[in-house]
Amino acid sequence: MLHLVNRSPFEERTIDACLRVAAPGSAVLLYEDGVYAGVRGTGVAGRLEAAAREMRVCVLEEDLAARGLQDAALVPGVHRVDYDGFVELAIEYDSVTTWR
């Protein structure tokens, strides 16, 4: 399953809820304000790094750039994808769920 998280981890707890439930082998895409969770050095970075060892964790490049974070160091194991990559992820995983 592909999990979509669009909320900032400093605003809501959706990334924590998602990581508690997401199964190993699934994928998590951080987009919109969700990209803040992918940046190195925040309070959620440790949990995200642990998750990235068991599942594919990606951040949407366009949304990083829209927030001036295009050159920011990401949490180890987290990958950048663009909208083409977003489409590919939606195809590769048999279902897509959005966390609110």
Partner 1 sequence: MVSEGPAQRQSAESAYHFAQAALAKGHEVIRVFFYHDGVHVGARASTPPQDERNIGAQWSALAAEQGLDLVVCVAAAARRGVLDEEAGRRLDQAPAPGSLLPGFRAAGLGQLIESGIDADRLIVF
Shortest CB 49 distance to partner 1, Å: 25
- The whole-angstrom separation of Cα 64 and Cα 67 is 5
Beta strands 27-30; 56-60: pairing state: parallel
Size of the site for partner 1 (CB under 8 A): 17
Give the range of 12-20, 30-38, 47-55, 71-79 binding partner 1 by CB under 8 A.
30-38
Give the range of 14-22, 31-39, 43-51, 72-80 binding partner 1 by CB under 8 A.
31-39
- The whole-angstrom separation of Cα 44 and Cα 31 is 16
